[in-house]
Amino acid sequence: MSNPGEPFGGLGGDAAGGFGALFEQAQKMQAAMVTAQRELAEARVEGSASGGLVTATVNGGGELVDLKISPQAVDPDDTETLADLVLAAVRDATTNAHKLAEQKMAAATGGLGDVLGGLGGPGGGLPGMPGGFPQLG
């Protein structure tokens, strides 16, 4: 018989407690994910090429925010090599940002991201997370 005072319609104390604990865990995970998303939005990640002759900085979403080119990397007769170095530095920075996003989301979800990883993107396709980073080249 159902007790009107029980929020889970007579499922019993153990079941109600289990649902409550599950809900509480989900709320904690959601808060951790919001924190991770905020940290990623503020993050700046670097990548480089040719021993630092070209350095690219991207934000946590993988967008290029800064690019530094050493004068030693500039040869007016060989702009193709410079272009290759720029692409390599941006790819390195983007890869590093992707790794950072995966680490932060894994920490926020307690490894649940491994289960959801096939859904795509650094957040496992989770709402509010970038769906992936741009492919260059």
Q: Is beta strand 54-59 parallel, antiparallel or unpaired with respect to 64-69?
A: antiparallel
Q: Would you list the domain boundaries of the chain?
A: 13-110
- pTM assigned to the model: 0.64
pLDDT score recorded for residue 110: 81
Measured CA distances, 102 to 34, 59, 72, 89, 93 (Å)? 14, 14, 35, 20, 14
Strands, sheet with 64-69, edge to edge from the N-terminal-most edge strand: 44-49, 54-59, 64-69
Between CA 90 and CA 84 the distance in angstroms is 10
Across residues 106-134, what is the average pLDDT? 56
Fold of 13-110: Ybab; Chain: A; (3.30.1310)
Q: What is the tens place of the pLDDT at every residue in 39-71?
A: 998 999 999 999 999 999 999 989 999 999 999
Helix extents (H) in the chain: 13-42, 79-109, 112-116
Render pLDDT for 15-30 as a digit per residue (tens, 0 to 9). Answer: 566 788 888 888 889 9
Rounded percentage of the chain residues whose pLDDT exceeds 70: 68
Q: How many CA atoms lie within 13 A of 136 on its CB side?
A: 17
Instruction: Assign 61 to helix, strand or coil.
Output: coil
Helix (H, G, I), strand (E, B) or coil at 38: helix
